[in-house]
Amino acid sequence: MAVVARPLPDRAPELEITQTQADVTRDVVGTLGRASTGYLLLLGGAVGLFLVGLLTFLILVKDGLGHAGYNPPIFWAVFITTFVFWIGIGHAGTLISAILFLFRSPWRTAVYRSTEAMTVFAVMTAALFPIIHIGRQWVFYWLLPYPNQRWLWPNFKSPLLWDVFAISTYFTVSSVFLVFGLIPDVAAVRDKVTGWRRTVYTLASVGWQGTDNQWRHYTRAYLYLAALATPLVLSVHSVVSWDFAVSIVPAWHGTIFAPYFVAGAIYSGLGMVLTLIIPLRRALGIEQMITKYHFDNLAKLTLLTGSILFYSYSMEYFVAWYSGNTFEQTTFFRRPFGSMWWAGWTMIICNAFVSQLLWFRKIRTNLTALFVISIFINIGMWFERFVIIVSSLSNDYIPWAWSDMNPTWADWGILAGSFGWFGMWFLLFAKSFPIVAIQEIKEMIPMPRKRGGGGHH
């Protein structure tokens, strides 16, 4: 049907939605079901990778962690690196869905669902690592405060316990947030599809009908969930950063760690968001819903967080120098010039410098450029954690114990597995649930009015 849309005052022109609400429903519901061969190939690849990881894990459980590239004093290496990496990925999702929601930032609408899904699956991935990484994987539950015949409780002074709570909370809350937001859309899908799928969605929509009463409580609750998720997301990566900051390892016990890590996390998350939705919007044919305008904003956020990282990096070096603490100084000198210089420079270039390219609008709005940059960001942020963890551990207080680290097949196997696991869930989600928030998009489309007020005919 012909559409006469007019720009709304509070919205940038790029956001003009040239569809009716019916179109939105149709388009989004259209993205579900029927899987293309491309999609199936992707999914197959993801599952394959996941199986590689699973096999590696089983071998580690059988023989011990010796297969991984641990060279004491480097007692934490690729696994914890990857753990922090995935936790970080999660953050952008919550930022966009919760924080920007509170800030009433309109452009989040089109992308928040996918980023939220990314969050949940990233945290799901991260949550595996504490188990993979410990020496006796089969007793990981000892970290939980459950009543037992030993009458023993865990040690709440340990940052790892904080982790356990932070991550499980983060996972729970962000999944609740995702599911909660999905309900009205699932209802919409339910009313469009037929057959067994209808039954499934009916169950999933838990009887949602969009009555005024439901909306009244729903909108409130959503607001509070967002309000809770916002400090949560900030806390989670702070806690993760305290795993390091609370210790006495030189270059770990830094007071700037919490903000530094949170910024880094969001930065890496945004990187992953770009990596995911640039291909996704084409694959799902929703180009007109996720537009240049969104990417421009995402890029600006990336630029901001990237610059915060740049600042944090320089601060780390400055403080190390200014403190006059020989241990700090040695560590930070060896970061770019020590035996693991390659990691150090990858981190600095990919994060601090590449992000600065986003000052240029041309680049911010050029999807190819953005995609390439986003890949750089992913790599860079993985290496940031690698450098912080491994290169700091490799040279701390006692020179006699210093050592280098070289990852082994086991490390790569688990890393690959984690990507497979993440990809698998994300792809499955994208095909089974509206990857774009139907009801919130509709919210932005002017309601038809009989008295002149826009709408059609």
Partner 1 sequence: MARPKPTRRQPGVLASFIHVDAAVDAIRALRARGHRNLVVYTAFPNHEIEEALDQPVSMVRLFTLIGGLTGCAAGFGMTIWMSFDWPLLVGGKTMSSVPAYVAIAFELTVLLGALITVAAVACLTLLGQKRRVAYDPQFSDDRIGLFVPSGSDQLGPVEQLLRSAGAVEVRHEAA
Partner 2 sequence: MMRTLAFVLGGAGAAGLAAVLAFGGSPSAAQQQATPAADSATAPAIIDTGSLKGPRQPIFFRHDIHAGQFKIQCQYCHYSVAVSTEPGIPSMQTCMGCHLVVSGSDSSAKTEIKKVRDAWNAKQPVEWVRVHFLARHAHFPHQRHIKALGPSACTTCHGEVARMPQVFKANNINNMGFCITCHLERKVSRDCSVCHY
Partner 3 sequence: MSDVSPESGMDRRKFLTVLGASGGGALALSGCSTSRVEKLVPYLVQSEDQIPGVATWYASTCTECAAGCGVHVRTREGRAVKLEGNPEHPVNRGKLCSRGQASLQGLYNPGRVKAPMARGADGRLAEITWDDAIARLAGKLTAAGGKVAVLSGAGRGTFSELLADWTSALGGRLDRWEPFDHEPLRAANRQVFGLDQLPAHDFAGAKYILSFGADFLETWLSPTENQRGFAEAHGFAGGDVAKFVHVGPRRDLTGLNADEWMAVRPGTEAAVALAIANVVAAARGAPAALAGALGNYTPAMAAQETGIPAERIERIAREFAAARPSLAVAGGVGAQHAGATELCAAVNLLNYVAGNVGRTVRFGADLAAGDGFRGLTQLGTAMDDGQVAVLLVHEANPVYALPKAAGFAARLKKVPFKVAISPFLDETAALCDLLLPPHHALERWDDAAPRAGVRSLMQPVMEPVFDTRAAGDILLATAKKAGGALAKFSATTWEAHLRGRWQALAAERKEADADAFWRAALQRGGVFDEPPAPVEVSLAPTAAQVSYTRPAFEGNGAYVFAAYPHAMLHDGRGANKPWLLEVADPVTKITWNSWVEVGPEAARALNVRNGEILRLTSPHGSLEAPAYIHPGLHPDVVAMPLGFGHTEYGAFAQGRGVNALDLLGAPAGEFVAYLSTRVAVEKTGGYRKLASIEGTPRQLGRGIAEAIPLAAARQGLTVAEAYLEEGHGEHEVNTPLEVAALKGWSEKQFQMTRKGDYRRDLPQWGMAIDLARCTGCQACVTACYAENNIPTVGEYDILKGREMTWIRIERYWEGSEAPDAPPSARFVPMLCQHCANAPCEPVCPVYAAYHTADGLNGQVYNRCVGTRYCANNCPYKVRYFNWYKYNEIAWPEPLQLQLNPDVTVRARGVMEKCTFCIQRIRGAQNTARLEDRPIRDGEFTTACAQACPSDAIVFGNIADPDSRVVAIKQNPRGYRVLEDLNTRSAITYLAKVLHPVEG
- Identify the residue among 9, 13, 135, 452 touching partner 3 (CB under 8 A): 135
6 binds, among partner 2, partner 1, partner 3, none (CB under 5 to 8 A by kind): none
53 binds, among partner 2, partner 1, partner 3, none (CB under 5 to 8 A by kind): none
343 binds partner 1 (CB under 8 A): no
**Counting beta carbons within 10 angstroms of the beta carbon of residue 23, is it exposed (0 to 12), middle (13 to 18) or buried (19 or more)?**
middle
- Identify the residue among 139, 151, 213, 362 touching partner 3 (CB under 8 A): 139
Cα(277)–Cα(295) distance, rounded to whole angstroms?
Answer: 10
148 binds partner 3 (CB under 8 A): no
145 binds partner 1 (CB under 8 A): yes
Distances (CA, A) of 78 to 17, 66, 126: 45, 13, 13
Contact predicate 87/171, CB 8 Å: no
149 binds, among partner 3, partner 2, partner 1, none (CB under 5 to 8 A by kind): partner 2
- Identify the residue among 151, 196, 224, 400 touching partner 2 (CB under 8 A): 151
Structure tokens at 163: 């982790």
Structure tokens at 428: 């499955």
> Terminus-to-terminus CA distance in the chain, angstroms?
9
Structure tokens at 391: 């290169």
Nearer of residues 162 and 295 to partner 1, judged by Cβ = 162
Cα(167)–Cα(423) distance, rounded to whole angstroms?
Answer: 20
Count residues near partner 1 (CB under 8 A).
Answer: 67
401 binds, among partner 1, partner 3, partner 2, none (CB under 5 to 8 A by kind): partner 3
Please report the sign of the dihedral spanned by the C-alpha atoms of residue 53, residue 58, residue 59, residue 61.
Answer: positive
- Identify the residue among 138, 139, 149, 219 touching partner 2 (CB under 8 A): 149
Q: Which stretch binds partner 2 (CB under 8 A): 148-156, 195-203, 287-295, 371-379?
A: 148-156
Distances (CA, A) of 208 to 20, 149, 191, 434: 22, 45, 11, 16
Total count of residues recorded for the chain: 457
Integer-rounded Cα Rg, in Å, for the chain is: 23
Question: Least separation, in Å, of the C-beta of 153 and partner 1?
Answer: 4
221 binds, among partner 2, partner 3, partner 1, none (CB under 5 to 8 A by kind): partner 1
Question: Least separation, in Å, of the C-beta of 128 and partner 2?
Answer: 28
Within a 13 Å sphere around the CA of 359, how many CA atoms are in the beta-carbon half?
6
Q: One symbol per residue from 110 to 129: x for binding partner 1 (CB under 8 A), - otherwise; what is it?
A: --------------------
205-264 residues in contact with partner 1 (CB under 8 A) are 206-221, 224-225, 228-229, 231-232, 235, 239, 242
Where are the alpha helices (H) located in 284-366, listed in sequence order?
292-323, 326-337, 341-347, 361-364
Cα(202)–Cα(190) distance, rounded to whole angstroms?
Answer: 6
Please report the sign of the dihedral spanned by the C-alpha atoms of residue 12, residue 13, residue 18, residue 20.
Answer: positive
Contact predicate 272/92, CB 8 Å: yes
Structure tokens at 400: 């006699």
398 binds partner 3 (CB under 8 A): yes
- The site for partner 3 (CB under 8 A) is made up of 63-66, 70-73, 75-76, 130, 133-137, 139-140, 142-143, 152, 154-155, 157-161, 164, 243, 246-249, 326-327, 330, 393, 395-403
- The site for partner 1 (CB under 8 A) is made up of 20-22, 25, 145, 151-157, 161-162, 165-166, 168-169, 172-173, 176-177, 180, 183-184, 187-188, 190-192, 206-221, 224-225, 228-229, 231-232, 235, 239, 242, 438-440, 442-443, 447-451, 453, 455
- The site for partner 2 (CB under 8 A) is made up of 149-151
